[in-house]
Amino acid sequence: MPLSEHEQRLLEQIERALVDDDPKFASTVRTGDRRQKARRKLQMGIALVVVGLAGLIGGVAVPSVPLGVVGFLLMFGGVGLGVLNYKAATGAIEAVPASGTGPRPAGRGSTKAGKAGKARKQPLKDRLEERFRRRYDQ
């Protein structure tokens, strides 16, 4: 969501005040894209997966258990590094499901299609809680 003109002016004033108060800190904060570090870690994770795969295959080709184990650990570490930094590196936004914590209608006249549609939208925990409440109320 873009900032309004008023918010942009306030942000510019805050930035100017920051530069005036502490120029060294302002220059370190203003270092371009904040996702650059996460991208580097993601790239390093991919490289670790490739090196680990080569080590794993080398451990199988030359019957060497320690080489295979080291290759597997490198692959595992690379995948972990990639997974942990993927969202920050790509700026992916995770979908937030509707919580459905508002008041629920107590009517029993709803159709099965309506219930099925509602059940797909609610998380499992909320559906189980709703079933428990219905059983307890009856």
Per-domain boundaries in the chain:
36-89
Q: Residue 75 belongs to what H/E stretch?
A: helix 65-90
pLDDT tier at 119 (50, 70, 90 boundaries)?
Answer: very low
Which DSSP symbol is given to 108?
A: S
Q: Residues, the chain, total?
A: 138
Q: Which residue has the higher pLDDT, 117 or 136?
A: 136
List, for residues 88-99, the tens digit of each pLDDT value.
Answer: 777 665 555 555
Q: Which residue has the higher pLDDT, 1 or 9?
A: 9
List, for residues 51-85, the tens digit of each pLDDT value.
Answer: 999 999 999 999 899 999 999 999 999 999 988 88
Reading the block at residue 36, the tokens are: 């650059």
For tokens 């009517």, what's the residue? 107
**Confidence (pTM):** 0.46
The closest of 46, 49, 105 to 73, measured between CA atoms, is 49
